[in-house]
Structure 1
Amino acid sequence: MKQARVGKTATISFNKDDCEGVIYPHDDALVVKMLVDNFNTRRILINNGSSADILFWDAFVRMGTDQNRLRPSPTPLNESLGETVQPVGSITLHVETRMSPCTATTMTDFLVVKTLSFYKAIAGRPTLDILKTVTSKYHLEMKFLRKMGIKEVHDEQGEVNEPLELVALDEANKKANARIKTRMKPKVRSRLKRLLAEHKDVFA
């Protein structure tokens, strides 16, 4: 499924390989983690339909950001939240998305709101456009074109309370085992098992 052409040489696309590690069927939103103001922030909703970047009050307080940095924001917000909410204010924060071995960074103007939400923040079109992001809800993934090539950021699906697999490291020693995540990509999972087996004296 081709999504977008960037420049003259690179095409950002999604295919069956991007389905690895995703639990189907699903109706999940695309939710990722980013560094916001140097704070590791999880549960950031990627919303291409939002014309604003939103930071919820609970996350703002946890970051320990000086509230005096908030600027007045008199315009009510309703399109992204399903209700009319008056922002506490707006603030510009550094946002960083890490994709080993590189990063994508920008300064984002967040509207800070006091309302209950499962999410910590919403990344809307302003940030997604600046970062030149292409998203796929079906694949629960977003991609960027960087100098080192196309980089991927995956959804957090299943990271919370993710089941673990017990891997036996030594058949002769029942206590020699390790636990690994079950929802990583199959190829990565297989390589990790081989690595544990080859170095069982270290991990057992």
Structure 2
Amino acid sequence: MPMSHCLDEGSGSVSKRARSETSLVLDFSEDDKKGTIQPHDDALVVTLRIGGYDVRRVMIDEGSAAEVMYPDLYKGLNLRPQDLTAYSSPLVSFEGRSVILMGMIRLLVQTGSDVVEVDFIVVDAFSLYTAILGRPWLHTLGVVSFTLHQKVKYPSGGQVLEILGNQTMARQCLVTAIQHRPKADMSTTTENDL
């Protein structure tokens, strides 16, 4: 059974039924799984154009209320501390730790011919991902993402466009993150899990 959402391009609202003739159906079917390794529990990792550069290892995370940029991308874009604006709200990592915030920067994120301004919170923390795009970007672009199908779909110019995930890249990030994890963290986690 296909998963679908109807999106009225004029209003940006999502509903179960088409509201007008201009509504586009953003659906996912078994055909969308072609080319993916199934079954899996891989993160949705894509390549996007950020700040004028093609950036790999961008994780799409519907659970994130913020867009996050990690040091590799910050340095790769040749950004400097004076390019950042102050950002003081707390941010907590996946492990539940507070993250050191360097500041915030607004950059253009391009998907196809669509360009969206995104406020990235720049953090000083290790990550194999270069950035995380969360709900603000997803909602602005009208994106529907589906990790099972390893795709992002969004309306643009009267049609539905797709961004494909890269499972190989997602798996490489996971393996490297596990190998990078400090031994003290691994022993504590193991003891707590028993």
Q: Which residue of 2 aligns with 1:54?
A: 68
Q: Secondary structure at the match of 1:64?
A: coil
Task: Please state how far the C-alpha of 1:160 moved relative to its aligned partner.
Answer: 8.9
| The one of 13, 28, 38 aligned to 1:14 | 28
Structure 2 segments unaligned to the other structure (5+ residues): 9-19, 172-194
Task: Please state how far the C-alpha of 1:86 moved relative to its aligned partner.
Answer: 2.8
C-alpha separation in 2, matches of 1:4 and 1:108: 24
1:125 aligns with 2:126: no
More helix by share: 2
Contact 1:32/1:154, CA 8 A, preserved across alignment: yes
The TM-score, its normalising length taken from structure 2, stands at: 0.76
Q: Secondary structure at the match of 2:41?
A: coil
Which digits, 9 at most, give the CA deviation of each residue in 1:131-181, with x for residues without a partner?
Answer: 1000111101010111141011100122699xxxxxxxxxxxxxxxxxxxx
C-alpha separation in 2, matches of 1:2 and 1:51: 24
Task: Please state how far the C-alpha of 1:16 moved relative to its aligned partner.
Answer: 1.2
The TM-score, its normalising length taken from structure 1, stands at: 0.72
Task: Please state how far the C-alpha of 1:80 moved relative to its aligned partner.
Answer: 5.6
Structure with more contact order per residue of length (Cα contacts < 8 Å, sep ≥ 6):
2
Q: 1:157 to 1:4 in 2, by over 3 A?
A: same
RMSD: 1.8
Task: Please state how far the C-alpha of 1:11 moved relative to its aligned partner.
Answer: 1.0
Task: Please state how far the C-alpha of 1:74 moved relative to its aligned partner.
Answer: 1.4
Contact 1:71/1:89, CA 8 A, preserved across alignment: yes
Contact 2:106/2:119, CA 8 A, preserved across alignment: yes
Structure 1 segments unaligned to the other structure (5+ residues): 162-204
Q: 1:61 to 1:119 in 2, by over 3 A?
A: same
Q: Which residue of 1 aligns with 2:181?
A: none
Deviating beyond 6 angstroms after TM superposition, the runs of 4 or more aligned structure 1 residues are: none
Which digits, 9 at most, give the CA deviation of each residue in 1:73-131, with x for residues without a partner?
Answer: 11220166642113100000011123xxxx22100000000111110000011111101
Contact 1:50/1:79, CA 8 A, preserved across alignment: no
Contact 1:75/1:86, CA 8 A, preserved across alignment: no
Q: How does 1:25-44 map to 2 (within 5 A)?
A: 25-44=39-58
1:88 aligns with 2:88: no
1:138 aligns with 2:151: no
Contact 1:49/1:80, CA 8 A, preserved across alignment: no
Q: Which residue of 2 aligns with 1:154?
A: 164
Q: Which residue of 2 aligns with 1:170?
A: none
Q: 1:24 to 1:139 in 2, by over 3 A?
A: same
Task: Please state how far the C-alpha of 1:4 moved relative to its aligned partner.
Answer: 1.3
C-alpha separation in 2, matches of 1:61 and 1:117: 14
C-alpha separation in 1, matches of 2:7 and 2:93: 29
Q: How many residues align?
A: 157
